[in-house]
Structure 1
Amino acid sequence: MLQTITLIFSLMALIPAHASPNGESVFRDHLQDGSLGPEMVWIPGGSFKMGDIQGEPDEKPVQIVTVKGFAMGRYEVTFAEFDKFVKATGRRKPSDSGWGRGNRPVINISWEEATAYTEWLSQQTGQQYRLPTEAEWEYAARAGTETKYWWGNDIGTNKANCYRCGDHFKYTAPVGSFAPNAFGLYDTVGNVWEWTCSEYDNKYKGKEKRGISKRRAESSRMSLRGGDWSNGQMGVRSAYRSMGTAFDHYSSVGLRLLRRLD
């Protein structure tokens, strides 16, 4: 009982202490047409243990990483949000692979297109949006935990959209279909992979803590995080990693936003 109480208070201490201009931890920036951008959540800065403590080879070495506070997308970016950007810029509308648009996570977008979306949001809002680094992504996904998933080491059932996880979705699920982590972020486990701004390396040597330029990304492998609807329990762990090339499109890959506070 004492351990449970201690864990609850530890997680409460990690709830974002920042507040948006209207005093709330969840906020939306205004676009130039007066409409609202994606929902964002304030994430406090701090230190965490990055990597797989259980010993996967490409999630090593386990390291203590410190990140500054930032805001992160409460949900994966949806088709409705991305289609608005497509209409405004005259870009190609990404395919939904026949699974539905609206409140489902956008898929079939390249790293270049995901980055262009963050740049458009920055221009629209006057704020600094981008993709998260690998380190920022894992920090936010873990939400103060050191277990395989933010809720523990057992995948359980009906806690995420992944293969044989007990959910009823054949492909992608509408964002927010499952419970959020302690930071208030949804779908950090499964549903779709999420692009980061970090270049992929087989071992942690520093690239996971920084982003790279678009020119560099053209010839690089970019890190992906979070797993997708087709991944089993090993492939949706908080520490799990994959990669893709900047101009490729995948039916299992979308994005989540980060907004700088400084």
Structure 2
Amino acid sequence: MVMHRSLIDRFFRQLALACIPLAMLPTVALAAKAAPRIWQEPHTGMPFVALPKGCFQMGSAVSAKGAMDGSLYQFRYGPGADEQPRHEVCIDAFLIGQFEVRANDWVKVMGENPPGGNGPEPAGGISYDAAQEFARRLTQMSEGKYRFRLPTEGEWEYACRAGQKKEAMPFDNDHVDVAWYSVSGHRVLKPNAVGALKPNAWGLHDMLGNVWEWVEDGYRHDAYSRHALYNPVVKEARDGQRVIRGASHRSDFIQVRCAKRAFYPASDALGQIGLRLVRQP
């Protein structure tokens, strides 16, 4: 019996892969299959997920759906070209909030209700400056044991993609089950309680939709041509603008992508903008 050459090649590739020791397989690929390692912040109860170090392709290819249209009524967007060039970025291990910061988390740290949100809903109406103050106070509460901060753009997109390489929403197009966002006939009128929908492959909820999330970086249209390979961050902000990521419940599906960048003034607040924190190991 004659076996087709392609079948023979496939057999030996699979056999070789099966013989590779587990420790030699890529860290990110393993982590995408494993149950999340969760650490709970003792003062607020906020759960943080430990993410492995790894490298990924950040940004969008020129042909990515939605990358060519950066306009939307709520925000001043840079054009889709600010998601390019697509480039490799390597990120050290870190811990990131499993959920967006909730209104009740905000009360425990700041001693007052946030401008938007109640109980398990994401804290909304938060400016970049207020988000930084929240992180500073939580760090102070830990008495030097931990440092909390906003994620960098690279960390945020790495966490959102969760080891997946495709450009679109990383949820097999089952959008309504994984992200609060708006389309014709399906308007989401306000943020919803965090964690109500499916998580991504690394166990993180609401990375897309619900509320936009501040990141550490200042906004520059040409940021991706300036990025370092390892742990890039853009410190300077153009005209006081800071980057927001992840879209909101009012966004349409074209905005609901891991690569989508938007920006807003650091001192201003809007009901659809909240935050998610990182804890440095």
Give the TM-score normalised by the residue count of structure 1.
0.81
State the shift of 1:217 in Å. Answer: 5.7
> How many residues are aligned here?
236
Q: Which runs of 5+ in 1 are unaligned?
A: none
Amino acid at match of 1:103: P
State the shift of 1:219 in Å. Answer: 4.9
Which of residues 258, 268, 272 in structure 2 aligns to 1:252?
Answer: 272
Give the TM-score normalised by the residue count of structure 2.
0.76
Structure 1 residues 118 and 211: CA distance shift in structure 2, 3 A: farther
Q: Could you tell me how far apart the structure 1 residues matched to 2:221 and 2:238 are?
A: 18
Cα-Cα RMSD:
2.8
Q: Could you tell me how far apart the structure 1 residues matched to 2:225 and 2:238 are?
A: 21
How is 1:5-154 mapped onto 2 (pairs within 5 angstroms)? 13-15=30-32, 25-31=37-43, 36-53=44-61, 54-55=63-64, 56=67, 57-87=81-111, 93-96=113-116, 100-125=117-142, 126-147=145-166, 148-152=168-172, 154=173
State the shift of 1:14 in Å. Answer: 2.1
Q: Could you tell me how far apart the structure 2 residues matched to 1:249 and 1:259 are?
A: 24
What is the identity percentage for the equivalent residue pairs of Structure 1 and Structure 2? Answer: 31
* Bigger CA radius of gyration: 2
Structure 1 residues 76 and 16: CA distance shift in structure 2, 3 A: farther
Contact 2:219 2:238 in 1 (8 A): no
Q: Deviations over 1:203-233 (max 9, x none)?
A: 3133692153xxx669521111000001111
Q: Could you tell me how far apart the structure 2 residues matched to 1:197 and 1:159 are?
A: 25
Describe the SS at the equivalent of 1:234. coil
State the shift of 1:78 in Å. Answer: 0.4
Describe the SS at the equivalent of 2:95. strand
Q: Could you tell me how far apart the structure 2 residues matched to 1:119 and 1:202 are?
A: 28
Contact 2:220 2:237 in 1 (8 A): no
